[in-house]
Chain A
Amino acid sequence: MFSKILIANRGEIALRVQRACHQLGIASVVAYSEADRDSRAVQLADEAVCIGPAESRRSYLSAPALLSAALVSGCDAIHPGYGFLSEDDTFAEMTRAHGLTFIGPPPEVLERFASKAGTRTLLGKHGLPIIPGSGMLRDDAQALAEAERIGYPVLIKPSAGGGGKGMRMVRSPRELQQAMTICRSEAMAAFHDDSLYLEKWLEDNRHVEVQVIVDRYGNGVHVGERDCSVQRRHQKIVEEGRSPAMTDAQREALCDAAIKAVVVAGYENLGTLEFLLDRAGNFFFIEINCRIQVEHPVTEMLSGMDLVTEQIRIASGEPLGYGQDAISLRGHAIEFRINAEDTAHDFRPQAGVVERYLPPGGPGVRVDSHLYSGYEVPPYYDSMLGKLIVWGSDRNEAIARSREALDELVLEGLVTNLPLHRALLDHPTFLSGEFTTNLLDRVGSAAFLNAANAAAA
């Protein structure tokens, strides 16, 4: 096991990893940028090292700064969290070259799964139905030809990263040509990589993903699925488990196929396989995320497992130590991403001082957040302020508890998306479990908010 871990991230996930380290009795060092000097993770840290200025390129995205911080503080492993360098095979390789362990898949595994097109082909060979798509696009002419072959509508996606950046759905060659330029510049700005590919767009699809854990000896389990169909511009807002849209038999088929394919394909560590589910219940593999995910607490609430400690344990070389029989999922869990953004004004991100913050409580309620009263949210990073995760013995109980928790939560000083979450819990489409990924964008979030408010009144 490791003796000291560098936490190479910020916000709520830095806190989450820190908690896991404390629990395992492993010392930890928080790497932070100048803008995060007053962060909760730094306040609670055994040790903290300032690695650079606010600009993430010179701090959280700087491999030399992070590695140097790990070495001067005597760490033997680095936890990258999510985002930033969490899926960067070059960073993982550099980490190893300096005698440290990257807590995630080893570099050669990251490299094998780095190309989304390559991963689809690989896992398709091992039995997963895959979404029709293109390889990496050389130019617009190739994009047009590929789109013609796949058939419109198609989704333009960046090869690197996630979070909806650089993604556009297009219905015609004309739209495709216009969107390619925008997607390229967005992808370049977000991931320093402007390579794009195409994917067939399924109308009214749902987004369902499977959590897997695989050790380096080829032992693997799945920990069920999460449904992330409530999205805005391809960005997840609410995630829940189990999926309200699937039968037990469908779930079993999906999770079984996913774990079998990744084990055979040589995956290692924690991972999430993302699928699109069509109306008829057919599922299509789209991509794999080789990291801990924002929505991992949904699975933790259902399974009673601690996925971050499992991730650390497996990265240190320990065998999994249990089989699929040991995993049992109980009840229903919903996660709400609390973002500092103005829903009524095109989700404009907000920065400023949190004047008052009081998290909710009660049975089944968990809040993963780095907020405190008086904390100043810096304007340089992601707008996520934390996550509210609520468990109930069934979906109805989880929804009832969620309403109560959202009503209790006090967060003053910043505009947040809490009203959208509250409205969602009274919306018939959400209540019936029939949300599709394009619903919020199609209706328009402001209109959605108004309609839900009217329905609730």
Chain B
Amino acid sequence: MADENDQLEDAVQARATIARLTEEVLPALIERLSASDLGELEVRENGWRIRLRRPHADGTPSDAPSSQRQPHPVMAAGLGGPAPGTGAPRDALRGLVSSPAVGYFAPRAGVEVGAKLISGDLVGYVDVLGVRHEVVSPVAGALRSFEVESGQAVEYGQAIARVEAEA
């Protein structure tokens, strides 16, 4: 049972890593590669690796034979699971509702501690120069606590609430 839980957690963790890689790391790297005159860019960090390759003018990657045409840029991510020593915040990250932007937080009316949430449920908003950015729960479960008060200034990634994930 414990093993199954661990496997499940690993899978959740891996999915979170992939999501982070595709949403945040990859666009930054594509930007960097496009702005340079390089053919290839590779990044390694804690058990994963991303390599971007720019196509030649004829559409082939710089070092691949022309028979292996691929759409580009290519992402080759090797996910070796979380590296030792980096798994500490795993439990804490699960069920953590974090701020999508820097601004002022306001909870959604009617959402209170103990409320049942499903993944993607709206918990509140962060007001950025008058524009509301949605704060959503990443998992299904019960809202355990708010970490910030209504009207409080929050930064990007700051913990806003905790959700007790369903078993």
Q: Contacting A68 at CB < 8 Å: which of B24, B38, B129? A: B129
On chain B, the residues within 8 Å of A54 by CB distance are 24-25, 28
Q: With an 8 A cutoff between CB atoms, is B43 at the interface?
A: yes
Query: Is B74 interfacial (CB-CB < 8 Å)?
Result: no
B153, A72: Cβ atoms closer than 8 Å: yes
Interface residues of B in 142-167 (CB under 8 A from A): 153-158
Chain B positions within 8 Å of A68 at CB level: 101-103, 128-129
Residues of A within 8 A of B32 (CB): 349, 379-381
1/0 per residue B31-43: CB within 8 Å of A? 1101111100101
The answer to whether A51 touches B28 (Cβ under 8 A) is: no
Q: A59's closest neighbor in chain B, by CB?
A: B156
Interface residues of B in 47-65 (CB under 8 A from A): none
CA distance A348 to B41 in the complex (A): 9
- Do B31 and A57 have beta carbons less than 8 Å apart? yes
CA distance A57 to B23 in the complex (A): 12
Chain B residues within 8 Å of A69, by CB: 102, 155
Closest Cβ–Cβ distance, residue A61 to chain B (whole Å): 9
Contact A52 B101 (CB under 8 A): yes
B131 on the A face (CB < 8 A): yes
Question: A34 contacts B157, CB within 8 Å?
Answer: yes
Report Cα–Cα, A67/B129, bound state, in Å: 8
CB-based contact A50/B37 at 8 Å: no
- Of A132-140, A185-193, A210-218, A392-400, the one with at least 4 CB within 8 A of chain B: A185-193
A348–B28 Cα distance when bound, in Å, is 17
B14 within 8 A of A: no
Q: Check if A433 is an interface residue, CB within 8 A of chain B.
A: no
Is A65 a contact of B102 with CB atoms below 8 Å? Answer: yes
Structural contact, B102 and A185, CB atoms closer than 8 A: no
Contact B27 A233 (CB under 8 A): no
Indicate if B29 sits at the interface (CB-CB under 8 A).
yes
B contact residues around A185 at 8 Å (CB): 34
Q: Which residue of B24, B43, B103 contacts A55 across the interface (Cβ within 8 Å)? A: B24
Q: Is the CB of A51 within 8 A of B102?
A: yes
Residues of B within 8 A of A189 (CB): 31, 34-35
Residues of A within 8 A of B43 (CB): 351, 379
CB within 8 Å of B: which of A54-82?
Answer: 54-59, 64-65, 67-69, 71-73
CB of B147 to closest CB in A, whole Å: 15
Inter-chain contacts of A51 with B (CB < 8 A): 102, 155-156
Cβ 8 A contact of A349, one of B31, B38, B155: B38
Question: How distant is A91 from chain B, measured CB to nearest CB, in Å?
Answer: 13
What per-residue 1/0 map shows which CB atoms of A86-115 lie under 8 Å from chain B?
Answer: 000000000000100000000000000000
Chain B nearest CB from A257 CB (Å) reads 34
- B104 interfacial contact with A, CB 8 Å: yes
A281 proximal to B (CB < 8 A):
no
**CA of A56 to CA of B102 in the docked complex: distance in angstroms?**
15
- Please determine whether A73 and B24 come into contact, CB atoms closer than 8 angstroms: no
Whether B35 lies near A190 (C-beta < 8 A) is yes
A186/B128 in contact, CB under 8 A: no
Question: Which of A58, A64, A379 contacts B29 (CB under 8 A)?
Answer: A379
- Residues on B with C-beta less than 8 A from A120 are none
Chain B residues with Cβ under 8 A from A361's Cβ?
none
Asked if A428 lies at the interface with its beta carbon under 8 angstroms from chain B, I say no
Tell me the complex Cα distance, A10–B42, Å. Answer: 22
Contact B129 A52 (CB under 8 A): no
Within 8 Å CB of B28, what residues of A? Answer: 35, 53-56, 380
The CA of A98 and the CA of B158, in the complex, are separated in Å by: 24
B104 neighbours in A (Cβ, 8 Å): 72
- Which residue in B31, B37, B103, B153 is a CB contact (below 8 Å) of A56? B31
User: Residue A49 at the B interface, CB < 8 A?
Assistant: yes
Chain B CB within 8 A of A165 CB: yes
Chain B residue at minimum C-beta to C-beta distance from A65: B102
* B102-A49 in contact (CB<8A): yes
Pair A49/B128 contact, Cβ less than 8 Å: no
Please indicate the chain B residues that have their CB under 8 angstroms from the CB of A57 in the complex: 27, 31
- Specify which of A56, A65, A98, A348 is in contact with B101 (CB 8 Å cutoff): A65
**Residue in contact with A73 in the complex, picked from B37, B153, B156, CB distance below 8 Å:** B153
Which of A56, A186, A348, A380 is close to B34, meaning CB atoms less than 8 Å apart?
Answer: A186
Please encode chain A, from 172 to 211, with 1 for each CB lying within 8 Å of some chain B CB and 0 for all others. Answer: 0000000000000110111000000000000000000000
A98 with B129, Cβ < 8 A, contacts A34-B157, A72-B153, A73-B153 known = yes
Residue of B at shortest CB range from A74?
Answer: B153
Inter-chain CA distance A69–B153, complex, in Å, is 9
Taking a contact as CB atoms under 8 Å apart, the answer to whether B37 and A186 are in contact is: yes
B157, A348: Cβ atoms closer than 8 Å: no
Contact indicator B157/A72 (Cβ below 8 Å) = no
Q: Mark A35-59, 1 if CB is under 8 A from B, else 0.
A: 1000000000000011111111111
Contact partners of A52 in chain B: CB under 8 A: 101-102, 156
Instruction: Show 19 residue pairs from A and B whose CB-CB distance is below 8 angstroms, ordered by the A residue.
Output: A50-B156, A55-B24, A55-B28, A57-B27, A64-B101, A64-B129, A64-B131, A67-B129, A68-B128, A71-B129, A72-B102, A72-B153, A72-B154, A165-B36, A186-B34, A346-B38, A349-B36, A349-B41, A380-B28
The 9 closest A-B pairs by CB, nearest first: A189-B34, A72-B153, A55-B28, A190-B35, A53-B24, A380-B28, A50-B155, A50-B156, A68-B128
Given contacts A165-B35, A380-B32, 8 further A-B pairs with CB under 8 A are A53-B24, A53-B28, A54-B24, A64-B128, A65-B102, A68-B129, A69-B155, A165-B36
